[in-house]
Copies of this chain bind each other. A is one copy, B any other.
Amino acid sequence: MQYFITGGAGFIGSNMADRLLKDGHKVTVYDKFVTGHREFLEEALKSSDFTLIEGDCADEDKMAEAMKGSDMVFHFAANADVRRGLEHPMKDLEQNTNNTFHVLEAMRKAGVGRIGFSSTGSVYGEAEVIPTPENAPFPVQTSLYGASKLAGEGLIAAYCEGYGFTGYIFRFVSILGERYPHGHVYDFCKALGRDPENLHILGDGHQKKSYLYVGDCINAILTVVDKCSDKVNIYNLGTDEYCEVNDSASWIASELGVSPKFTYSGGNKGWIGDNPFIYLDTKKIRSLGWIPELTIEQAVRRTVRYIQKNPWLLEDGK
């Protein structure tokens, strides 16, 4: 099979590229290298089944040309800077909503009809039902990021109904693991590198968070794509557990071999639009036989070890 991955030089995209190549498929990565890293594609670039194209998802014609002959598109390119949405509200709209539209239009032009999409548990807003199932009560959006991804989901579903596409929509909790480029594990490692004695935590530290290891995430996506063929296939991806930011901070400190004093900014949210608790019901994906191999603690510790081995990532500033 031939796969086309937007954002394929990013965290999840590059892990997917490596996995698909390992499974014997052909892969084209399309990335504009604003947050993507060539270093993440080091292995992939050695393969004759791999093609790298530098381009912007806003450029429909270039994308359509590049994806000709592909059997499926994984659309992972996105603005994942969830926290700073309110500083530049147009970024989420352009990069997450409008670029999803451009990817769908490029697919129509290129005659490709299968799409996998990285959505987010943030689309549930402040969920009424926890753990939150895929068919939870119609949510009210609380962040520009969630709203922009929900809009992407809606476009994909409408293309499935209107143009006969098949859509795979994955609502992720936060993903951890190799090539993890931002978020609290990254921030805490960086802060503890500067000052191993103190760690300042946004919120009160009791925010509950659910995480999933990137390898488990890739397994889950490929399980759904392999086993499901509904018009629109929507799956939560997460583990059956959660942790508090305090737990995670302790594991990170322990893995780094430091014992910082924790201080807190206070309040039950890290930032405006931060959900105090995202915890997804994963019965639907588990019913397909998938189970995560790593616990949250194992995923956090593995991420810390990866960051320790790749200190350039902390300096990168992308």
Contacts and interface: CB of A to CB of B under 8 A. Distances in A.
A143 B125 contact: no
Copies of the chain in the assembly = 2
Interface string A133-171: 011111111111011101101110111011100000000
Contact of A151 (B134, B147, B163): B147
Contacts of A105: 89-90
Q: Which bucket holds chain A's interface residue count?
A: 35 or more
Interface in A254-302: 272-273
A134 B128 CA distance: 14
A234 interface: yes
Contacts of A159: 89
A154 B147 contact: yes
A196 interface: no
Interface of A is mostly: helix
A55 interface: no
Contacts of A89: 101, 104-105, 159, 162
A158 B146 contact: yes
B147 A155 contact: yes
B163 A142 contact: no
A272 B162 contact: yes
Given A150-B154, A155-B147, A90 B101 contact: yes
A158 B135 contact: no
Given A93-B98, A137-B135, A162-B272, A142 B157 contact: yes
